[in-house]
Amino acid sequence: MQQIIANLLKKITEFLEFFISIMLAVGIVLICIRMAGSLSDIPNLEVWPNYDDLLSTCFNLIIGVELIRMMYYHTPNTVFEVLLFAIARHIITDHTSTFSSLVGVCAIAVLFATRKYLFCEFDISATTIFRASAKVHAINKLLGVQIPYENDATLADVLLQKLAEIEKEPRIGACAYFSDVGLRVAKFNDQGKISRIEVIRSIH
């Protein structure tokens, strides 16, 4: 019963995120159309949009677009971009004190440092499941990755060898990582052998 309710709530939240994204996208499009029709008023500083209004509105629209991406993709990178644009907007358009601008610049520096040193290489990734008997050379060519292998090795051969090297037991969910790709045990067959392997690619 609890699992049914959890699945229902998950579907409701996904629908609400999608609906909110649609409304936000429609609002952004309408504002863009309104601005396009009002560009001739920019030289007049007494009416909307003057240059400051245009700059502020464009930043708001960009942040809105990034919010849509954040709700759709749910990745650390989209959160980073929303925060980056929000802080940049504050620095550029608000014209506050020098101290406030300095704090904003420091915040951007912290964001970039966090992205460089704290984001896991596979935070943003694409996954594909293959048969464990698939040949590594074919997977490398298909996905454009560099899984190290010898002779005519299969995914299972490479994964089992790597798990043995790092002294990790082969079980569902066990992972082995290489320079630009990871392998994860996805399924065993009735004989207790690995039958499906998930290939995890970094897409930074």
E strand or H helix that includes residue 84: helix 76-93
How much of the chain exceeds pLDDT 70, in percent? Answer: 90
Model pTM score: 0.55
Interatomic CA distance for residues 183 and 154, integer angstroms: 12
Task: Report the residue count for the chain.
Answer: 204
For residues 185-199, average pLDDT? 91
Bridge partners, residue 197, by sequence: 130, 185
Identify the pLDDT of residue 13. 84
Q: Which two tokens stand for residue 172?
A: 């569902």
Q: Which two tokens stand for residue 15?
A: 């629908």
Task: Kindly report, residue by residue over 32-58, the tens digit of the pLDDT.
Answer: 898 888 877 777 767 667 777 788 888
Identify the pLDDT of residue 120. 58
E strand or H helix that includes residue 116: helix 98-117
The yes-or-no verdict on residue 91 having pLDDT over 60 is: yes
Task: Kindly report, residue by residue over 108-154, the tens digit of the pLDDT.
Answer: 999 888 877 776 555 555 778 899 999 999 998 888 888 999 888 99
Instruction: Decide: helix, strand or coil at residue 158.
Output: helix
CATH 3.30.465.10 in the chain, residues? 125-202
The contacts of residue 29 (CB under 8 Å, 6+ apart) are none
Q: Which two tokens stand for residue 84?
A: 């980056």
Tokens 């960009």 found at: 62
Q: What end-to-end distance do the CA atoms of the chain give, in Å? A: 39
The yes-or-no verdict on residue 87 having pLDDT over 80 is: yes
Which fold is adopted by the domain 125-202? 3.30.465
The yes-or-no verdict on residue 20 having pLDDT over 80 is: yes
Identify the pLDDT of residue 179. 79
CB 103 within 8 A of CB 111: no
